[in-house]
Structure 1
Amino acid sequence: MKDGANQDQRPASFAGSLEAVIIGGHSYTKHPQHWYHDGSFGFLVEDTAFLLHGSVLSGKSAVMADLLSLPQPSMSLNASNDGILGDMVLNGVPFVALHDRALDFSNVLDFIYPKTLPLARTNHLDADELMGIVRFAGKYLIDDLKDWAVMELSDNHLILPQDHSSKYYLDRHYSNPNFCVGVIEFARECSLPGFLPFAFYALATQDWNRRQAEDILCLDQLSVDDRHRIQCGRIALTRAVVEKGCQRPEYGIARDHCEAEGCQRGQDISLWTNPSGVWNELLLHPIEELEMRIGYQNGGFCDDCIDEMQNEAQVIRDDLVSRLFEFFKLE
């Protein structure tokens, strides 16, 4: 997971301005887009200062409306009171500090101030940024934006679509164990269990022998119950694959012969150049391997047997995907 903005690692979207401002005795960087000189209210988020229009924020968020209705600027609240710092004023404009990520606040403002970022340009947001938007929009009750970000995560990032190769999709979105752990934490925090299955599947099917120690240590961020789910889910997934795979003649276990001329169904397998490797891959990465079977063509079987193999692989693949909640005990 990517870290939020800080003094040494500033998000690329903030790089357009390095203009500093002193507020409350501390130096902040003005946000390059969301510092409006006619703004009526300011926010300090990490090391970034935002100068905004109170009416715009109040119209989008009931939480922000309540926050902006507090007496200003002579408040004497302390930093532990819902993240607000008192006596923070610049040129008569009150500022409050939020305990959020500056990147998330900036991305949310891109939607609240639509002229800054037309919706047509939202495809630059990655999964981490969209999860940040969900967290921020949920916290401040910006429901329409939260719903949109959840849908984007579902359609393009965290849920495997039926018409995509799972290997490509999992490699693209779930190859990093730290990201998988972050998705699980996010799904738990935001009560979005639909994002859990593929994160657990990706962790359970990782080749940990090829991973660095820090990748393995990321599992310590999960609860004991979730770590247990990864192990139990791996066993349940393997059991289901063995039950299904042992019935299939293309793996050379079930001696189900075909009488068609030249078809090697039920004979010593020549369908695969490396039968044991194919079987091992089915056990290690069953969803990905089954999808390879769906589109496989080989002269070792007759056309009817090839069609049957492809159709059955699709059925088994879909069954495994539908049972991920069951395997990892997520319900």
Structure 2
Amino acid sequence: MEVYLPEKGFSCQEVLDLIAVAGLMKTVSGFGRCFDKLVKKFVVNITLDCNMAGSAEYRKMYARGKPVNFSPISINSFMGVDVGDISLNVITKEITAGHVKSWPKKGIMSTGALSVKYALLNRIGAANWFLTNHSSHISTGLAQLIYLIGTKTPFYFGAFVFEQTMKHADTLPMKLPIDFPSLISEIILSQHPEIVASDEHPLQKAIPLTFDPGLYVGPHVQDIIVETDQVGAENFSVSISFADPGDVLSELMEVSKTLQDTIVSCTQRKKKVDLLIKRLTMGKAPAAEDRNQAGVVQDVGASSSDSS
């Protein structure tokens, strides 16, 4: 089921505020019950015809023989939230604080390029909104979602949930992880409260989401305020499922690559910062472009001249 994001003790209130403005707090904390067997029964009955206008089965979905109104409109109504066609390059510039100008041709971007705000939203999204085990990369779908949340852009969340759920219509049963299982459970229960069997119990409360300190102190541009005293070593964790040794190896390789990217990025940034220090020591004013590349705040030079 979804991973729990504790509101108390989380080091970045601004990210919580963004999620609240988007109306998505139900998807990260305070979400309802999750009946896994009920959700699986619902998902395996989804067909491609459910999303084909004109088909007799259009928007007709079932759970244990009962019809369920599950559409972008009904999901939005249940969530209480109200996606435009936004250029992928615009999204890229925003989520990387302008350091990357266009989306990579290979189709995925390294999470090391994200700013702190979007690195945090990506971590939450990869656990709750767009399930993936590839921690070192972000897909276009998740990038678009965190962009909308991060810029407080009103969007059609119901369409996003519906599209994620429809992915199961074209795959083998249970091959893909199921997004929003608690949300699906509650939508079904809101229409058929008697559908749960007497011997059926909801899953236990979700585990809390943890964050790698590298999200705060690594190569990510510091575009938000983070309570650094709350970013301790106890938050450092690598979540690995040991069900399959192959999955463990793949996950460890992803983590290793992320750490290597962080080392390379920090090394390059240190060289640029050292160059600025050398220039300032020699009495030369660094160019604005040099300050930007080193991640130095624009008004440092102005502040120095004022103090002198």
TM-score of the aligned structures, taking structure 1 as reference length: 0.32
Q: TM-score, normalised by structure 2?
A: 0.34
More strand by share: 1
Higher relative contact order (CA 8 A, sep 6+): 2
Structure with the greater alpha carbon radius of gyration = 1
